[in-house]
Amino acid sequence: MNYYIKADQFMLEDRMLEAGYLAITDGRFGEWSSSLPEEAEVVDWSGYTIAPGLFDTHIHGINGYDVMDGTKEAVHHISKALLSLGVTRFLPTTLTSSTDALEQAISATVEATNEGLLGALSEGIYLEGPFFTERYKGAQNPKYFRDPDIDLFQQWQQLANYTIVKIALAPERKAAIDFIKELSDCNILVSIGHSDASYDCSKRAIQAGARNFVHLFNGMSGLHHRNPGVAGTALMTNDTFAELICDSHHVHPDVANFAWQVKGEKIVLITDCMRAGLMPDGHYYLGEFPVVMQDGTARTETGSLAGSTLKLIDGVKHLQSWSHRPLHEVWHLASLSPAKSLGRGHELGSIHPGKYADYVVVDNELMIHATAVNGEVKFQRKATE
Protein backbone atom coordinates (compact mmCIF):
# COMPACT_ATOMS: atom_id res chain seq x y z
CA MET A 1 0.00 0.00 0.00
CA ASN A 2 1.54 3.27 -1.18
CA TYR A 3 0.21 6.65 -0.09
CA TYR A 4 1.12 10.07 1.29
CA ILE A 5 0.33 11.38 4.76
CA LYS A 6 -0.78 14.98 4.98
CA ALA A 7 -0.28 16.56 8.40
CA ASP A 8 0.54 19.83 10.14
CA GLN A 9 3.80 18.54 11.65
CA PHE A 10 6.19 15.62 11.31
CA MET A 11 8.49 14.64 14.15
CA LEU A 12 11.95 13.93 12.77
CA GLU A 13 15.00 12.86 14.79
CA ASP A 14 16.47 16.34 15.07
CA ARG A 15 13.52 18.69 14.59
CA MET A 16 9.82 19.20 13.96
CA LEU A 17 9.03 19.57 10.26
CA GLU A 18 6.08 21.75 9.30
CA ALA A 19 3.06 20.95 7.12
CA GLY A 20 3.61 18.80 4.07
CA TYR A 21 3.37 15.27 2.75
CA LEU A 22 5.22 12.13 3.81
CA ALA A 23 5.48 9.17 1.45
CA ILE A 24 4.70 5.64 2.66
CA THR A 25 6.02 3.07 0.20
CA ASP A 26 5.73 -0.70 0.64
CA GLY A 27 5.45 -0.36 4.41
CA ARG A 28 8.42 1.97 4.80
CA PHE A 29 8.89 5.71 5.10
CA GLY A 30 9.74 7.63 1.96
CA GLU A 31 10.62 11.26 1.43
CA TRP A 32 8.84 14.32 2.79
CA SER A 33 7.59 16.87 0.27
CA SER A 34 6.04 20.31 0.57
CA SER A 35 3.77 19.58 -2.38
CA LEU A 36 1.78 16.54 -3.43
CA PRO A 37 2.82 14.54 -6.51
CA GLU A 38 0.12 14.21 -9.15
CA GLU A 39 -2.44 11.41 -8.75
CA ALA A 40 -1.05 10.41 -5.36
CA GLU A 41 -3.29 8.81 -2.76
CA VAL A 42 -3.52 10.96 0.37
CA VAL A 43 -4.40 10.12 3.96
CA ASP A 44 -5.34 13.47 5.45
CA TRP A 45 -4.36 14.12 9.06
CA SER A 46 -4.53 17.91 8.88
CA GLY A 47 -4.46 19.43 12.36
CA TYR A 48 -2.31 16.64 13.76
CA THR A 49 1.34 15.64 14.24
CA ILE A 50 2.90 12.45 12.88
CA ALA A 51 5.42 10.88 15.28
CA PRO A 52 7.34 7.58 15.21
CA GLY A 53 5.74 4.58 16.88
CA LEU A 54 6.83 3.93 20.45
CA PHE A 55 8.92 0.86 21.35
CA ASP A 56 8.54 -0.69 24.83
CA THR A 57 11.54 -2.94 25.49
CA HIS A 58 10.44 -3.92 29.02
CA ILE A 59 6.79 -4.85 29.46
CA HIS A 60 5.31 -7.85 31.29
CA GLY A 61 1.65 -7.34 30.55
CA ILE A 62 -1.33 -5.01 30.37
CA ASN A 63 -5.14 -4.93 30.39
CA GLY A 64 -5.45 -8.03 32.59
CA TYR A 65 -2.92 -10.20 30.72
CA ASP A 66 0.69 -11.15 31.40
CA VAL A 67 3.39 -12.89 29.38
CA MET A 68 3.80 -15.30 32.31
CA ASP A 69 0.21 -16.48 31.82
CA GLY A 70 1.92 -18.83 29.38
CA THR A 71 -0.80 -18.60 26.75
CA LYS A 72 -0.70 -17.32 23.21
CA GLU A 73 -3.98 -15.51 23.91
CA ALA A 74 -2.23 -13.36 26.53
CA VAL A 75 0.44 -12.28 24.06
CA HIS A 76 -2.18 -11.48 21.41
CA HIS A 77 -4.19 -9.38 23.88
CA ILE A 78 -1.09 -7.47 24.99
CA SER A 79 -0.19 -6.79 21.35
CA LYS A 80 -3.64 -5.39 20.59
CA ALA A 81 -3.90 -3.32 23.76
CA LEU A 82 -0.65 -1.50 23.01
CA LEU A 83 -1.93 0.00 19.75
CA SER A 84 -4.21 2.55 21.42
CA LEU A 85 -1.18 3.66 23.48
CA GLY A 86 0.95 4.40 20.42
CA VAL A 87 3.26 1.41 20.93
CA THR A 88 4.13 -0.33 17.65
CA ARG A 89 6.96 -2.64 18.83
CA PHE A 90 7.61 -4.39 22.14
CA LEU A 91 9.61 -7.08 23.84
CA PRO A 92 7.38 -9.62 25.65
CA THR A 93 9.09 -9.78 29.04
CA THR A 94 9.23 -12.73 31.43
CA LEU A 95 10.16 -12.69 35.11
CA THR A 96 11.84 -15.08 37.51
CA SER A 97 9.82 -18.27 37.86
CA SER A 98 10.11 -22.03 37.67
CA THR A 99 11.76 -23.60 34.63
CA ASP A 100 8.42 -25.05 33.55
CA ALA A 101 6.65 -21.70 33.78
CA LEU A 102 9.40 -19.89 31.88
CA GLU A 103 9.42 -22.48 29.14
CA GLN A 104 5.64 -22.31 28.84
CA ALA A 105 5.82 -18.51 28.51
CA ILE A 106 8.54 -18.78 25.86
CA SER A 107 6.59 -21.38 23.87
CA ALA A 108 3.36 -19.37 24.03
CA THR A 109 5.11 -16.19 22.90
CA VAL A 110 6.69 -17.97 19.94
CA GLU A 111 3.35 -19.53 19.00
CA ALA A 112 1.52 -16.19 19.12
CA THR A 113 4.25 -14.45 17.14
CA ASN A 114 4.27 -17.17 14.49
CA GLU A 115 0.49 -16.86 14.13
CA GLY A 116 0.97 -13.15 13.45
CA LEU A 117 0.35 -10.42 16.01
CA LEU A 118 -2.44 -8.07 14.97
CA GLY A 119 -1.28 -5.15 17.09
CA ALA A 120 2.19 -4.06 18.17
CA LEU A 121 4.85 -6.41 16.83
CA SER A 122 7.27 -8.39 18.97
CA GLU A 123 10.95 -7.77 18.30
CA GLY A 124 11.98 -10.74 20.44
CA ILE A 125 11.75 -12.13 23.95
CA TYR A 126 13.28 -10.47 27.00
CA LEU A 127 14.20 -12.75 29.92
CA GLU A 128 14.19 -10.70 33.12
CA GLY A 129 15.81 -13.29 35.37
CA PRO A 130 16.23 -15.82 36.89
CA PHE A 131 19.94 -15.05 37.40
CA PHE A 132 19.49 -12.42 40.13
CA THR A 133 20.55 -11.90 43.75
CA GLU A 134 18.26 -11.49 46.72
CA ARG A 135 19.10 -8.10 48.23
CA TYR A 136 17.53 -6.19 45.34
CA LYS A 137 15.01 -8.82 44.34
CA GLY A 138 12.08 -6.41 43.96
CA ALA A 139 9.03 -8.40 42.88
CA GLN A 140 11.17 -11.28 41.56
CA ASN A 141 10.77 -14.59 43.43
CA PRO A 142 14.11 -15.44 45.10
CA LYS A 143 13.31 -19.13 45.46
CA TYR A 144 13.98 -19.51 41.74
CA PHE A 145 17.22 -17.49 41.65
CA ARG A 146 20.22 -19.39 40.32
CA ASP A 147 23.65 -18.89 38.76
CA PRO A 148 23.87 -18.24 35.02
CA ASP A 149 23.92 -21.49 33.06
CA ILE A 150 24.85 -21.34 29.39
CA ASP A 151 23.46 -24.81 28.66
CA LEU A 152 20.11 -23.89 30.18
CA PHE A 153 20.02 -20.63 28.26
CA GLN A 154 20.78 -22.44 24.99
CA GLN A 155 17.91 -24.80 25.77
CA TRP A 156 15.59 -21.80 26.17
CA GLN A 157 16.97 -20.14 23.06
CA GLN A 158 16.27 -23.22 20.97
CA LEU A 159 12.75 -23.38 22.40
CA ALA A 160 12.35 -19.73 21.41
CA ASN A 161 13.51 -20.39 17.84
CA TYR A 162 16.42 -18.07 18.63
CA THR A 163 14.18 -15.07 19.32
CA ILE A 164 15.52 -14.25 22.79
CA VAL A 165 17.21 -10.89 22.21
CA LYS A 166 17.68 -9.52 25.73
CA ILE A 167 18.40 -10.91 29.20
CA ALA A 168 18.86 -9.33 32.63
CA LEU A 169 21.14 -10.71 35.33
CA ALA A 170 23.22 -9.91 38.40
CA PRO A 171 26.90 -9.93 37.37
CA GLU A 172 28.13 -10.86 40.86
CA ARG A 173 26.70 -14.36 40.50
CA LYS A 174 29.06 -17.29 39.87
CA ALA A 175 30.15 -17.66 36.22
CA ALA A 176 28.23 -14.52 35.24
CA ILE A 177 31.13 -12.78 33.49
CA ASP A 178 31.82 -15.70 31.15
CA PHE A 179 28.07 -16.01 30.54
CA ILE A 180 27.86 -12.33 29.62
CA LYS A 181 30.73 -12.63 27.15
CA GLU A 182 29.25 -15.66 25.41
CA LEU A 183 25.81 -14.10 25.02
CA SER A 184 27.19 -10.72 23.94
CA ASP A 185 29.21 -12.47 21.25
CA CYS A 186 25.85 -13.77 19.98
CA ASN A 187 24.45 -10.20 19.79
CA ILE A 188 22.11 -10.67 22.75
CA LEU A 189 21.62 -7.51 24.81
CA VAL A 190 22.82 -8.33 28.33
CA SER A 191 21.36 -6.09 31.02
CA ILE A 192 22.49 -5.58 34.61
CA GLY A 193 19.72 -5.54 37.18
CA HIS A 194 18.32 -6.82 40.48
CA SER A 195 21.94 -6.74 41.54
CA ASP A 196 24.10 -5.78 44.53
CA ALA A 197 27.24 -5.71 42.39
CA SER A 198 30.11 -3.41 43.25
CA TYR A 199 31.38 -0.79 40.85
CA ASP A 200 34.36 -2.99 39.92
CA CYS A 201 32.16 -6.01 39.29
CA SER A 202 29.77 -3.93 37.18
CA LYS A 203 32.69 -2.60 35.15
CA ARG A 204 33.91 -6.16 34.52
CA ALA A 205 30.45 -7.03 33.25
CA ILE A 206 30.57 -4.13 30.82
CA GLN A 207 34.03 -5.13 29.64
CA ALA A 208 32.58 -8.61 29.00
CA GLY A 209 29.82 -7.10 26.85
CA ALA A 210 26.90 -6.00 29.05
CA ARG A 211 25.34 -2.89 27.47
CA ASN A 212 22.16 -2.10 29.39
CA PHE A 213 20.92 -1.39 32.92
CA VAL A 214 17.49 -2.54 34.06
CA HIS A 215 15.18 0.23 35.37
CA LEU A 216 17.91 2.62 36.56
CA PHE A 217 18.01 3.22 40.36
CA ASN A 218 15.46 0.46 41.02
CA GLY A 219 16.59 -3.06 41.92
CA MET A 220 20.28 -2.19 42.12
CA SER A 221 22.98 -0.96 44.49
CA GLY A 222 22.83 2.80 44.62
CA LEU A 223 25.30 5.59 43.97
CA HIS A 224 27.58 6.38 46.93
CA HIS A 225 30.63 8.59 46.79
CA ARG A 226 32.88 5.77 48.04
CA ASN A 227 31.07 2.95 46.28
CA PRO A 228 29.42 3.96 43.00
CA GLY A 229 27.56 0.63 42.82
CA VAL A 230 25.46 -0.45 39.86
CA ALA A 231 23.65 2.89 39.55
CA GLY A 232 26.95 4.78 39.53
CA THR A 233 28.34 2.46 36.87
CA ALA A 234 25.32 3.13 34.69
CA LEU A 235 25.79 6.88 34.99
CA MET A 236 29.54 6.82 34.40
CA THR A 237 29.73 4.60 31.32
CA ASN A 238 29.14 6.33 28.02
CA ASP A 239 28.58 3.24 25.87
CA THR A 240 25.75 1.71 27.90
CA PHE A 241 21.99 2.23 27.85
CA ALA A 242 19.89 2.73 30.97
CA GLU A 243 16.17 2.04 31.26
CA LEU A 244 14.08 4.63 33.09
CA ILE A 245 10.52 4.37 34.45
CA CYS A 246 9.07 7.89 34.41
CA ASP A 247 5.94 7.46 36.51
CA SER A 248 7.18 9.65 39.45
CA HIS A 249 6.93 6.63 41.76
CA HIS A 250 10.01 4.65 40.72
CA VAL A 251 12.32 7.65 40.26
CA HIS A 252 11.98 11.22 41.54
CA PRO A 253 11.33 13.63 38.65
CA ASP A 254 14.50 15.63 39.32
CA VAL A 255 16.59 12.46 39.44
CA ALA A 256 15.06 11.27 36.18
CA ASN A 257 15.95 14.59 34.59
CA PHE A 258 19.46 14.37 36.05
CA ALA A 259 19.92 10.88 34.59
CA TRP A 260 18.92 12.18 31.17
CA GLN A 261 21.36 15.07 31.43
CA VAL A 262 24.14 12.57 32.17
CA LYS A 263 23.21 9.75 29.76
CA GLY A 264 21.63 11.71 26.92
CA GLU A 265 20.15 9.56 24.16
CA LYS A 266 21.35 6.43 25.99
CA ILE A 267 18.30 6.72 28.25
CA VAL A 268 15.60 4.22 27.24
CA LEU A 269 12.11 4.98 28.50
CA ILE A 270 10.23 1.83 29.51
CA THR A 271 7.05 0.97 31.38
CA ASP A 272 7.82 -2.32 33.22
CA CYS A 273 4.03 -2.55 33.03
CA MET A 274 2.23 -5.54 34.53
CA ARG A 275 -1.26 -6.91 34.02
CA ALA A 276 -2.93 -4.17 36.09
CA GLY A 277 -2.12 -1.57 33.42
CA LEU A 278 -5.36 -0.09 31.98
CA MET A 279 -7.27 -1.88 34.74
CA PRO A 280 -9.11 -0.46 37.82
CA ASP A 281 -7.60 -0.47 41.30
CA GLY A 282 -7.79 -3.88 42.92
CA HIS A 283 -5.99 -7.16 43.53
CA TYR A 284 -3.78 -8.77 40.87
CA TYR A 285 -0.83 -11.11 40.50
CA LEU A 286 2.67 -10.49 39.21
CA GLY A 287 3.99 -13.98 38.63
CA GLU A 288 3.24 -15.82 41.88
CA PHE A 289 3.08 -12.65 44.02
CA PRO A 290 -0.27 -11.10 44.96
CA VAL A 291 -0.27 -7.40 44.16
CA VAL A 292 -2.54 -4.57 45.24
CA MET A 293 -3.02 -1.62 42.91
CA GLN A 294 -4.17 1.55 44.63
CA ASP A 295 -4.36 4.93 42.90
CA GLY A 296 -2.67 3.35 39.89
CA THR A 297 0.40 2.13 41.82
CA ALA A 298 1.03 -1.61 42.13
CA ARG A 299 2.75 -2.98 45.23
CA THR A 300 3.37 -6.38 46.78
CA GLU A 301 1.97 -7.25 50.20
CA THR A 302 5.29 -6.14 51.73
CA GLY A 303 5.00 -2.71 50.11
CA SER A 304 7.57 -3.16 47.33
CA LEU A 305 6.79 -1.67 43.93
CA ALA A 306 5.60 -4.46 41.64
CA GLY A 307 6.35 -3.29 38.14
CA SER A 308 4.17 -0.39 37.06
CA THR A 309 0.92 0.48 35.35
CA LEU A 310 2.55 3.22 33.30
CA LYS A 311 1.64 3.96 29.70
CA LEU A 312 4.77 4.72 27.67
CA ILE A 313 3.16 7.84 26.18
CA ASP A 314 2.64 9.10 29.75
CA GLY A 315 6.32 8.49 30.48
CA VAL A 316 7.09 10.77 27.54
CA LYS A 317 4.66 13.41 28.80
CA HIS A 318 6.11 13.28 32.31
CA LEU A 319 9.74 13.62 31.28
CA GLN A 320 8.92 16.43 28.87
CA SER A 321 7.10 18.25 31.66
CA TRP A 322 9.92 17.67 34.14
CA SER A 323 12.72 18.64 31.77
CA HIS A 324 11.10 21.37 29.61
CA ARG A 325 13.13 19.97 26.71
CA PRO A 326 11.80 19.84 23.12
CA LEU A 327 9.20 17.13 22.61
CA HIS A 328 11.04 15.40 19.77
CA GLU A 329 14.07 14.87 22.02
CA VAL A 330 11.99 13.22 24.74
CA TRP A 331 9.87 11.20 22.32
CA HIS A 332 12.85 9.52 20.73
CA LEU A 333 13.94 8.18 24.13
CA ALA A 334 10.85 5.97 23.81
CA SER A 335 11.23 5.09 20.14
CA LEU A 336 14.73 5.47 18.70
CA SER A 337 16.82 4.84 21.83
CA PRO A 338 15.06 1.51 22.49
CA ALA A 339 15.66 0.50 18.88
CA LYS A 340 19.32 1.49 19.09
CA SER A 341 19.80 -0.46 22.32
CA LEU A 342 18.88 -3.62 20.38
CA GLY A 343 20.90 -2.74 17.29
CA ARG A 344 17.71 -1.94 15.33
CA GLY A 345 18.11 1.81 15.01
CA HIS A 346 18.78 1.53 11.28
CA GLU A 347 15.27 0.08 10.72
CA LEU A 348 13.07 1.32 13.56
CA GLY A 349 12.42 4.19 15.92
CA SER A 350 12.27 7.32 13.79
CA ILE A 351 10.75 8.82 10.68
CA HIS A 352 13.48 8.41 8.10
CA PRO A 353 13.46 7.19 4.48
CA GLY A 354 13.81 3.41 4.33
CA LYS A 355 12.78 2.67 7.93
CA TYR A 356 9.64 0.69 8.71
CA ALA A 357 6.64 3.01 8.64
CA ASP A 358 5.58 2.71 12.27
CA TYR A 359 3.88 5.97 13.20
CA VAL A 360 1.27 7.53 15.46
CA VAL A 361 -1.06 10.45 14.92
CA VAL A 362 -1.22 12.80 17.93
CA ASP A 363 -2.87 16.10 18.75
CA ASN A 364 -1.42 18.99 20.72
CA GLU A 365 -2.24 17.23 24.01
CA LEU A 366 -0.46 14.07 22.81
CA MET A 367 -3.69 12.11 22.63
CA ILE A 368 -3.21 9.26 20.19
CA HIS A 369 -5.72 9.29 17.33
CA ALA A 370 -4.23 6.58 15.13
CA THR A 371 -1.40 4.04 15.13
CA ALA A 372 0.18 2.42 12.08
CA VAL A 373 2.54 -0.55 11.87
CA ASN A 374 4.52 -1.04 8.68
CA GLY A 375 2.38 1.66 7.09
CA GLU A 376 -0.92 -0.05 7.90
CA VAL A 377 -3.25 1.84 10.23
CA LYS A 378 -4.22 -0.71 12.88
CA PHE A 379 -5.86 1.60 15.41
CA GLN A 380 -7.98 4.69 14.89
CA ARG A 381 -9.76 6.49 17.70
CA LYS A 382 -13.48 6.91 17.22
CA ALA A 383 -14.73 10.47 16.97
CA THR A 384 -16.77 10.03 20.15
CA GLU A 385 -13.82 8.85 22.29
Taking only the tens place, the pLDDT of each residue in 146-201 is: 999 999 999 999 999 999 999 999 999 999 999 999 999 999 999 999 999 999 99
Contact 361, 45 (CB under 8 A): yes
Contact 376, 116 (CB under 8 A): no
> Selecting from 3.30.110.30, 3.90.226.10, 3.20.20.140, 3.40.50.740, what CATH number does the domain 54-341 have?
3.20.20.140
For residues 218 and 286, what is the distance between their CA atoms, to the nearest angstrom?
A: 17
Residue at 291: amino acid letter: V
Contacts of 49 (CB under 8 A, 6+ apart): 7, 8, 9, 10, 11, 16, 361, 362, 363, 364
Instruction: Tell me what the mean pLDDT of segment 263-272 comes to.
Output: 98
- Asked whether residue 385 carries a pLDDT value surpassing 70, the answer given is no
For residues 264 and 257, what is the distance between their CA atoms, to the nearest angstrom?
A: 10
Nearest Cα to 163, choosing from 214, 104, 117, 109?
A: 109
Residue 296 phi/psi, 5-degree rounding, is: 80, 0
Counting every residue written for the chain, the total comes to: 385
* % pLDDT > 90, the chain: 91
Instruction: Tell me what the mean pLDDT of segment 356-374 comes to.
Output: 98
* % pLDDT > 70, the chain: 99
For residues 111 and 70, what is the distance between their CA atoms, to the nearest angstrom?
A: 11
**Active site annotation includes 272:** yes
Catalytic residue (choose from 66, 69, 247, 272): 272
For residues 353 and 339, what is the distance between their CA atoms, to the nearest angstrom?
A: 16
- Asked whether residue 37 carries a pLDDT value surpassing 70, the answer given is yes
SS3 content of the chain, % helix, strand, coil (to 5): 30, 30, 40
pLDDT of the residue at 239: 95
Query: Could you tell me which residues are beta bridge partners of residue 173?
Result: none
Instruction: Tell me what the mean pLDDT of segment 75-82 comes to.
Output: 98
Please provide the CATH number assigned to the domain covering 3-51+350-380.
2.30.40.10
* Residue 301 banded pLDDT, cuts 50, 70, 90: confident
Instruction: Tell me what the mean pLDDT of segment 192-220 comes to.
Output: 97
> What is the pTM for the complete model shown?
0.97
Q: To the nearest whole number, what is the mean pLDDT of the chain?
A: 96
Instruction: Show me where the domains of the chain are located.
Output: 3-51+350-380, 54-341
DSSP 8-state assignment for residue 67: G
